[in-house]
Structure 1
Amino acid sequence: MVMIDSGERVVVVTGAAAGIGAAVAAALASDAGAISLWDRDPRVHDVAREISAGTKASVTAVEVDVTDRSAVADAFDKLVAEHGPADVVVHAAGIMLAGTGLDTTPEDWERSLAVNATGTMHVTQRAANDMVAAGGGAIVVVSSNAASTPRVGMAAYCASKAAATAFTRALALQVAPHGVRVNLVSPGSTDTPMLRGMFADGDQPLDEASHTALLDGDPTAYRLGIPLRRIAAPADIAAAVRFLVSDDARHITLHDLRVDGGATLDM
């Protein structure tokens, strides 16, 4: 395995315009020589400017739709031309469209799979090929504890995250002999615009009733509460990602790290 000095690493973070992706980008910038933030949301440029003010790393923002294979390829090509191949890729782009198994629309099903599953394949496949050619690297996919634990009202989300998780682990097995580590971080309820949007305006904090409902769970929906009695902050997920891409995790691959306060009892 090629060991890269952390201060010289070339890093890519997808889904970096908000939430977990933005927190991951901020956490990894101090360990990077160059970091590229990708998102289809133009607010990714604002995040890049904020991070640039606090780091010596070269920080760039690229508007990329991960469902567009050509756009992903173009973004990687540009990265390689400017900085060389990525040493670290964190794929945090994703969406959550509510709907039960009985009423999920074909459109929501297809969109969920396109972003959460096919987008994962587009990004990690290209990243892994570049890393195999380079002789090493680290990839982390931000999945969800819903990939393995069914959730009422989240059928397409569960299915798409399960597909992303399965693909990621299969890829990890394939590239491990080449010194490329591929791991998953699977959050539970995390205080992001995506979670807030399930209850109200995604830009507003959770109200007390919604916060309590998440902590307590809902037996009628077969949903456990959170044993640690707190909702994760995006920084909690970013810290787990930062560990997995570091040299401290050099003997860890194919791992799915749950960061959910015990909400799935490590099932």
Structure 2
Amino acid sequence: MSAALGGRLALVTGAGRGIGAAVVTALVAEGARVVATDVAADGVQALADEHGTRVAARTLDVTDATAVEDLVDEVERTLGPLDIAVNVAGILRASHVVDLSDEDWAATFAVNAGGVFHVSRAVARRMAERGHGSIVTVASNAAGIPRTGMAAYAASKAAAVMFTKCLGLEVAASGVRCNTVSPGSTLTDMQRALWTSADQDAAARKVIEGDLAGYRTGIPLGRIADPADIADAVVFLASDRARHITLHDLYVDGGATLRA
């Protein structure tokens, strides 16, 4: 086990599966203790069972501002001050704008932007008082390039990116760094839910090759990301190896957006 994050305490939202679970595992591998949270208990409890005392499982709905404040307060009273917070919780409601419901628009922003606001506000206030800390928001490369059928998701992720940068500017003088990681297509349940083909290999190839009809570029590196690829970027930005990096948006998408 590396000691790069030894003695650090991290909070991770959306930790029950996919990228969030990979982030928890990567943080633990670097020596951190992690409070793994998710709206569903099963996934985070499995992480706690796997990693023992290194991971504490908590159920959390990031759209509930009071619940977020209560959880952060409880964690800091019982486990210690938070050094790292990683916003991973997110949802995707795919739809063309003319068919997008008010409910899906509001729900997407409530989690993807509102949740980032609630968690970041709660931890930044405490980190700033102590004079150190790192907040990393997992956004999406969809925040930087238009995608058909993903307007609510892309807009909410763009909001999360700019919010995190603005927060980072406000707390920089207090020694708190705020950055975002923007993944492209990553092999998660969210990605698979977008695939209409039952042939998973064929669906993956279509993503890698791109889709002219959907105005979507392919992936120059020729592979879909593994959640661990995103987790490694998160851990880097959270660590002292990135001590002079803040307000940064790191794309981890295999070149898919051509960094447009």
Does 41-50 or 16-25 show the bigger shift? Answer: 41-50
In 2, distance between residues paired with 1:18 and 1:26? 11
Q: Shift in Å at residue 207 of structure 1? A: 1.1
Q: Secondary structure at the match of 1:35?
A: strand
Contact 2:48/2:54 (CA < 8 Å) preserved in 1?
Answer: no
- Identify unmatched segments of 5+ residues in structure 1: none
Task: Name which of 238, 241, 244 aligns with 1:245.
Answer: 238
Contact 2:27/2:33 (CA < 8 Å) preserved in 1?
Answer: no
* Residue in 1 that maps onto 2:225: 232
In 2, distance between residues paired with 1:166 and 1:64? 24
Q: Shift in Å at residue 127 of structure 1? A: 1.0
User: 1:95-119, CA deviations, whole angstroms, 9 ceiling, x for partnerless residues?
Assistant: 1110112211111000000000001
* Residue in 2 that maps onto 1:256: 249
1:23 matches 2:22:
yes
Q: Secondary structure at the match of 1:102?
A: helix
Contact 1:9/1:31 (CA < 8 Å) preserved in 2?
Answer: no
* Residue in 2 that maps onto 1:155: 151
User: 1:162-186, CA deviations, whole angstroms, 9 ceiling, x for partnerless residues?
Assistant: 1111111100110111100000000
Taking a change above 3 Å as real, the CA distance of residues 102 and 79 of structure 1, as seen in their structure-2 partners, is same
In 1, distance between residues paired with 2:106 and 2:123? 24
Aligned-residue sequence identity (percent) comes to 50
Contact 1:7/1:30 (CA < 8 Å) preserved in 2?
Answer: no
* 1:27-66 equivalences in 2 (<5 Å): 27-43=26-42, 44-52=44-52, 58-66=54-62
In 2, distance between residues paired with 1:228 and 1:160? 27
User: 1:216-247, CA deviations, whole angstroms, 9 ceiling, x for partnerless residues?
Assistant: 11112111000000000000000001111111
* Residue in 2 that maps onto 1:82: 78
Which residue type is aligned with residue 228 of structure 1?
L
Which residue type is aligned with residue 105 of structure 2?
W
1:102 matches 2:121:
no
Taking a change above 3 Å as real, the CA distance of residues 151 and 33 of structure 1, as seen in their structure-2 partners, is closer
Query: How high is the TM-score relative to the length of structure 2?
Result: 0.95
Q: Shift in Å at residue 144 of structure 1? A: 0.2
Ranges of 4+ aligned residues in structure 1 off by more than 2 Å: 30-34
Task: Name which of 160, 164, 170 aligns with 1:168.
Answer: 164
Does 222-231 or 77-86 show the bigger shift? Answer: 77-86
In 2, distance between residues paired with 1:200 and 1:92? 25
Task: Name which of 67, 91, 109 aligns with 1:113.
Answer: 109
Taking a change above 3 Å as real, the CA distance of residues 76 and 32 of structure 1, as seen in their structure-2 partners, is farther
Q: Secondary structure at the match of 1:7?
A: coil
Aligned residue pairs: how many?
Answer: 257
In 1, distance between residues paired with 2:196 and 2:132? 43
Q: Shift in Å at residue 20 of structure 1? A: 0.1
Task: Name which of 172, 184, 190 aligns with 2:186.
Answer: 190
* 1:174-213 equivalences in 2 (<5 Å): 174-199=170-195, 207-213=200-206
Q: Secondary structure at the match of 1:230?
A: coil
Q: Shift in Å at residue 50 of structure 1? A: 1.7
